[in-house]
Structure 1
Amino acid sequence: MRENIFLRLLVLLLLSGAAQAELRLDPGFGSGGSLVVAASGSRDDRPLLAGLADGRFVVANMAVADVPTVRVARYLADGRLDSGFGNHGVSQVVVAAEHWDTSLVASLKVRSDGGLWLAVTRKSFLGSPPAYSHTLVRLGPDGNPVPGFNGGAALPLPALGSPDNGPLEEMLLQDDAVLLLASIYTAPPQGRFKALRIRADGTPDPGFGVAGLLIAERAGAFSYSWMSVPGGGFQALYTIFNPPELPRQSFWRRYRGDGSLDLTFGSAGEQAVAPGAGRYVANLFALPGGHHLGQGLGCHLFLFDSQGQLLREFESCPGRELIAAQPLGDKLLLVGQDFFGGTPPPGSPLSLRLVDGSGNPVPGFSGEVEGGLPGLYDDRFAAITDRAGRILIGHADNDAIRLYRYQEVGAVASSAVPVPALGAAGLILLLLGLLLPVRRRLRPG
């Protein structure tokens, strides 16, 4: 009887060990799980990825061409080009007549009908501060330019507050329009952001700001992020950099659909992100249902609802900087990237963490992948998940844009052979369990 109880305890110990299943490349995707999607001119050409509800996905990057050209390709779930999009799966749109020092796809958004909005930024280092130029592209669900948008051509955007214009940092979909956002920080601390609302036909929205442009200032503000709120408005997240002896604190500032400050929100249009000093949030990542995840100082993460109200906060360290937060079933995949100056250590800077709704690591998910995570420290990365629970990672090196897809976590956990984390006590029990049957056979009588 004692022997049976002992063996049961041993089985429970083995089953309760932290099984660390390694993510494996999906053999049904591309060539053995990876795919080269385009040539790349430099590691700065970070691909942007967007998933569709049916498992197809879109990849956008700057093409290697004589003039600045954005390349957009749509793929079937197995990695084949979707022939129903553009020219045999690829659409290319010229966005300017000449190159500047740097050109990149700043934002990619998918409409509910499968159409696309893309914003392209060019940067020139001649002069100080650097000059920026932005171009907006709209494609229909078939991958072709929409004739009703600027006559079917790419739309050069006015400088967002030249001469102190900045990089385009966010593009929000709002019904049949887009809101383009950039921020500038000057000394003494004086935060300023610009919002430009462009309608579906490519014209500035005359009912927003002044002829479609809003310039907002807030003394001491820095590190802007933005989110749409129900009803057509939006709110800006900013941080006040108090004197060194006081902690930083983040606030929401809400604007109506016409760009005016919503004075009914909080106190005269402003509200602390979370009660208490030192509540500091740097970046926002959009999640389904209007929720957003914010990254605070160190390993602190904040989950907000569609109104920006704090739902919960938790500790998790996905990497030095969070570059993606994606739902994976009922869990949340956090993709971090470490950025190093000087000579970086070898290997990929990416890290993958899977957490539950309270931020607790999911047992059995180690974040390790077959063959190691792709890329080097000076590559640029993107990552998304799909409804089937698969992870797609894209990165650019000096030669090409490459994609890697990993099998859904559930399938990996069931097909991989887990290695229980027993520890010293577990090993002792395991040895005793093996010796008990031997001792019984050797017992006299």
Structure 2
Amino acid sequence: MTSRFRSIFALACAAMLSAVGAAAQAQIATPEGALDRGFGVDGLFLDDSADYGKPNAFAVQRDGKIVIAAMAGGSPTGGNCRVLRLRPDGTPDPGFGEGGKTWIGDPAGFFVCHSLAVRADGRIVIAGYGVGAFVAVRLLADGSPDPGFGDRGVARADFADLGYAESGAQDAALQADGKLVMVGEAVDYRASPKRTRFAILRYGEDGRLDPGFGDGGRVLTAFDAVSPTGNASAHSVAIQADGGIVAVGSLGGVAATGLARYLPDGRLDPSFGDGGRYAAYSDELRPGGRLLAVQADGRLLLIRGTREGQYQTVVRHLSDGRIDPSFQQLRYLELIDALKQQADGRILVVGSSGWPGLRRPELLRLNHDGTRDEGFVREPFGFVDGGDYYQGAAVLPGGKILLLAESLRRDGGGRGTLGVARLRARTHCIVDAFDPGRFLGFSPEGWFAAAGRGREGRAFGALGRGRASEVPAARLHLFQARAVAGVDADAAVFAAEPGQGWGLGRVRAAAPDATRFAILDPRLDDSACSAGGGR
């Protein structure tokens, strides 16, 4: 980097530093984990409707509105699942259903709703199981049934014609193309003892089984190589960036957790485990996995129990299914109910600790290696005078955290109250100035991604590895980087707060055109920055 360019860059950063530093100081003044008083009433939304039931899932729309699905009673329509939508400020959305809520159900009988996702077009998908079948319901943005999905908004499918008389979905995920993947268990009672299989299906845009997936839209998977019966039950599913589908669950007759990865057409992926299946054994962990999440680098996060006491922990698997030995398996909570990744790759863990009847709600944040982030402390608060049970977490585009809770009143005969809290939090990803929907960050090994456009408007990208040196007077971190494509670049980032570097500047690269880069301090170890995350 020439001295002239270094001076120009330092002056530009210095000009920006005062404004950014003031913003950073304002963030520091309000610690992470504190209630955001601008949400609901003093940071909380509390629903005390007589028709309330247990909240099972929630999601955040692109416009910041919050959609919640809960088991419910007292419905005027006969549905037993209530869907509620809040505006970004934590008040009911009058443009959704009746006064912000609507009821849904399965015309064939009882419906257990436990998975919820919002499509890019604003339509809402609620998935679960009914009597012996997988059930999905799709609503229009206003909360009314979507007539273009299934039978008047409801899709049902089972595996009875494949010899499995009963089936039930445990989780669902939307693909980028809008198709819905559901996983669970299929049971064949003709065998003694009964046979169970990973059961997976995919619905097309119209709510019909996708003929391009498995056997007419369905797949059954046994684990014969590791279990004497081949029995397996899927508990969670996630879609990878390349379209691969990963399912995790429990195996019958053996102390192992089963993982399977499928190609987009439903075939087992031969590059994963043993012919697409992997059995994870561990002397320290109980079998069975759930709450699957995929990291940006393809590694897999899931929940398993420990063999000592009743604790549960977060476990990380490599992209080929093997357990990642570099990730700490620390026992923090007796029960984990939700797992969510921040945009900077740190992991939010929601659950409870303490003995039954005396449980207290917990929200923890883990670092990239699985150790606890001691700098994150939740502000103590309660929704009602009884016990709170956290059921889910979501991260808003600005990095703030939403908590979904079920609260039980001491004097209410066990009647529950649905609550949502919003907490202040920060992530350390930086938005790409040329593509605001994308975030840039470093891998654990120090590699960074950078993108820009040259003078002719041509897109230019580089992948490099940097080393840092500090310039205390200007609070700059300077990087000399050589990109894998043979591009040499000099870059700089200023520190808005101690140990956390970030910034945006012009960088002169040994490339055909001058290029702007957005980069991060590699000490942040931000390997999971992704669209929709925090800034």
Residue number in structure 2 paired with 1:158: 158
- Does the 8 Å contact 1:195/1:213 carry over to 2? yes
- Does the 8 Å contact 2:52/2:417 carry over to 1? no
- Does the 8 Å contact 2:44/2:422 carry over to 1? no
Report the 3-state secondary structure (helix = DSSP H, G, I; strand = E; otherwise coil) of the residue aligned with 1:218: coil
Distance in 2, Cα, partners of 1:265 & 1:23: 38
Give CA deviations for 1:159-214 in whole Å, capped at 9, x if unaligned.
66676524311112232321222125787595412222211112111222322222
Residue number in structure 2 paired with 1:178: 180
Distance in 2, Cα, partners of 1:339 & 1:154: 40
Answer yes or no: is 1:408 the counterpart of 2:424: yes
- Does the 8 Å contact 1:75/1:81 carry over to 2? yes
- Letter of the structure 2 residue corresponding to residue 355 of structure 1: L
- Does the 8 Å contact 2:133/2:169 carry over to 1? no
Distance in 2, Cα, partners of 1:97 & 1:237: 29
Q: Normalization by structure 2: what TM-score?
A: 0.59
- Does the 8 Å contact 2:291/2:339 carry over to 1? no
Between Structure 1 and Structure 2, which shows a larger proportion of helix residues? 1
Residue number in structure 1 paired with 2:404: 394
Q: Normalization by structure 1: what TM-score?
A: 0.69
- Does the 8 Å contact 2:36/2:42 carry over to 1? yes
Describe the shift of the 1:47–1:37 C-alpha distance in structure 2 as closer, same or farther (beyond 3 A): farther
Answer yes or no: is 1:314 the counterpart of 2:316: no
Residue number in structure 1 paired with 2:274: 267
Of residues 196-205 and 135-144 in structure 1, the stretch that sits farther from structure 2 once superposed is 135-144
Distance in 2, Cα, partners of 1:292 & 1:231: 14
Residue number in structure 2 paired with 1:136: 136
- TM-superposed CA distance for 1:385, in Å, is 3.2
Residue number in structure 2 paired with 1:93: 104
Report the 3-state secondary structure (helix = DSSP H, G, I; strand = E; otherwise coil) of the residue aligned with 1:345: coil
- Does the 8 Å contact 1:40/1:400 carry over to 2? no
Within 5 A, what are the aligned runs for 1:55-74? Answer: 55-63=64-72, 64-66=74-76, 67-74=78-85
Distance in 1, Cα, partners of 2:342 & 2:244: 29
Answer yes or no: is 1:119 the counterpart of 2:127: yes
Among 189, 196, 202, the alignment partner of 2:201 is 196
Among 221, 227, 231, the alignment partner of 1:216 is 221
Residue number in structure 1 paired with 2:314: 301
Distance in 1, Cα, partners of 2:215 & 2:295: 32
Residue number in structure 2 paired with 1:326: 340
- TM-superposed CA distance for 1:31, in Å, is 2.0
Within 5 A, what are the aligned runs for 1:27-42? Answer: 27-37=37-47, 39=49
Distance in 2, Cα, partners of 1:35 & 1:372: 8
Residue number in structure 1 paired with 2:367: 356
- Does the 8 Å contact 2:124/2:140 carry over to 1? yes
- Does the 8 Å contact 1:135/1:157 carry over to 2? yes
Distance in 2, Cα, partners of 1:46 & 1:404: 10
Is there any run of 5+ residues in structure 1 with no aligned partner, and where?
Answer: 1-20, 123-130, 412-445
- TM-superposed CA distance for 1:88, in Å, is 5.0
Number of aligned residue pairs = 371
- TM-superposed CA distance for 1:310, in Å, is 5.5
Report the 3-state secondary structure (helix = DSSP H, G, I; strand = E; otherwise coil) of the residue aligned with 1:39: coil
- TM-superposed CA distance for 1:269, in Å, is 2.9
Answer yes or no: is 1:226 the counterpart of 2:227: no
Distance in 1, Cα, partners of 2:394 & 2:139: 21
- TM-superposed CA distance for 1:372, in Å, is 8.4
Identity of aligned residues (%): 26
RMSD (Å), alpha carbons:
3.9
- Does the 8 Å contact 1:105/1:121 carry over to 2? yes
- Does the 8 Å contact 1:303/1:313 carry over to 2? yes
- TM-superposed CA distance for 1:273, in Å, is 5.1
Report the 3-state secondary structure (helix = DSSP H, G, I; strand = E; otherwise coil) of the residue aligned with 1:388: coil
Distance in 1, Cα, partners of 2:120 & 2:361: 31
Report the 3-state secondary structure (helix = DSSP H, G, I; strand = E; otherwise coil) of the residue aligned with 2:265: coil
- Letter of the structure 1 residue corresponding to residue 209 of structure 2: P
Distance in 1, Cα, partners of 2:242 & 2:303: 26
Describe the shift of the 1:133–1:71 C-alpha distance in structure 2 as closer, same or farther (beyond 3 A): same
Residue number in structure 2 paired with 1:345: 357
Describe the shift of the 1:380–1:405 C-alpha distance in structure 2 as closer, same or farther (beyond 3 A): closer
- Does the 8 Å contact 2:262/2:268 carry over to 1? yes
- Does the 8 Å contact 2:185/2:199 carry over to 1? yes
- Does the 8 Å contact 1:314/1:359 carry over to 2? yes
Report the 3-state secondary structure (helix = DSSP H, G, I; strand = E; otherwise coil) of the residue aligned with 1:58: strand
Describe the shift of the 1:371–1:337 C-alpha distance in structure 2 as closer, same or farther (beyond 3 A): closer
- Letter of the structure 2 residue corresponding to residue 362 of structure 1: D
Distance in 1, Cα, partners of 2:45 & 2:216: 45
Distance in 1, Cα, partners of 2:239 & 2:342: 23
Residue number in structure 1 paired with 2:60: 51
Residue number in structure 2 paired with 1:336: 351
Distance in 2, Cα, partners of 1:295 & 1:59: 23
Describe the shift of the 1:271–1:295 C-alpha distance in structure 2 as closer, same or farther (beyond 3 A): same
- TM-superposed CA distance for 1:334, in Å, is 0.9
Distance in 1, Cα, partners of 2:92 & 2:335: 32
Is there any run of 5+ residues in structure 2 with no aligned partner, and where?
Answer: 1-30, 307-311, 409-413, 428-535
- Does the 8 Å contact 2:59/2:66 carry over to 1? yes
- Does the 8 Å contact 1:121/1:134 carry over to 2? yes
- TM-superposed CA distance for 1:28, in Å, is 1.6
- Does the 8 Å contact 2:46/2:383 carry over to 1? no
Describe the shift of the 1:80–1:324 C-alpha distance in structure 2 as closer, same or farther (beyond 3 A): same
Describe the shift of the 1:110–1:26 C-alpha distance in structure 2 as closer, same or farther (beyond 3 A): same
